[in-house]
Chain A
């Protein structure tokens, strides 16, 4: 699984858990996310020992915190092509490795769903991110990963 590279320097312990924030680097979302247009700066937090779920947290503007997973973990064979327009937004060359993340939602009854329709894509070189809505990858907006307990 690809990771946004971190600086490898000081790790900051989280208040209530034993997770650590690997010296967070700010990822800039020039347009925010739909519904969170004022959130332009995020950090990606990988709880220690946690390999599946990461947390994409706004560090500017309204509070917003998203759980994210690699969409390929949610659906085998998941594959999306980035449009030239989106590639340009991320300032990514055609062969640049990109980090793809899918937003996870825990619904009221405990059902865990993942948004495969509109993934978040991050260019680890420019540290630019965007939530993209590909025209030709019609994966479900609400893909159930875990049913209510």
Chain B
């Protein structure tokens, strides 16, 4: 892992189009601004992790869809 010391308003640049700037440094957190090209999604890591976990749980969909559908049908009517 590359490690940098940055102060407020200083930034780092990743590749051609990504800039991460330190906007504010507080006691409990650092506020960052990210400029990235539109094709690069930017998310908090924990949000991404939660979705990955949810996907893993969801991935073993049962073969018998009809049973699930019956139960869902009642809920979605």
Are A112 and B68 within 8 A (Cβ)?
Answer: yes
Chain A residues lying within 8 Å of B40, measured Cβ to Cβ, are 85
- A95 interface contact, C-beta 8 A: no
Question: At the interface with chain B, which of A3-11, A20-28, A66-74, A121-129?
Answer: A66-74
Q: Tell whether A2 is near chain B: CB-to-CB under 8 Å.
A: no
CA distance A105 to B57 in the complex (A): 7
- Size class of B's contact patch? 20 to 34
From A34, A66, A69, B72 is in contact (CB under 8 Å) with A69
- The total number of A-B Cβ pairs within 8 Å is 106
- B50: nearest chain-A partner, CB-CB: A141
A68-121 interface with B by 8 A CB criterion: 69, 73-74, 84-86, 88-89, 103-107, 112, 115, 117-118
* SS of B interface (majority): helix
Nearest-CB residue, chain A, relative to B64: A17
B1 sits at the interface (CB 8 A)? no
Cα distance, A17 to B65, chains bound together (Å): 9
Cα(A131)–Cα(B18), bound, Å: 22
Which B residues between 13 and 72 are near A, CB-CB below 8 angstroms?
38-41, 43, 47-48, 50-66, 68-69, 71-72
Total number of A residues with any Cβ neighbor in B under 8 Å = 40
Give the distance in Å from the alpha carbon of A53 to the alpha carbon of B50 in the complex: 23
Chain A residues with a Cβ under 8 A of chain B: 16-17, 19, 33-36, 47, 50, 52-53, 55, 57, 64-67, 69, 73-74, 84-86, 88-89, 103-107, 112, 115, 117-118, 131, 133, 141-142, 145-146
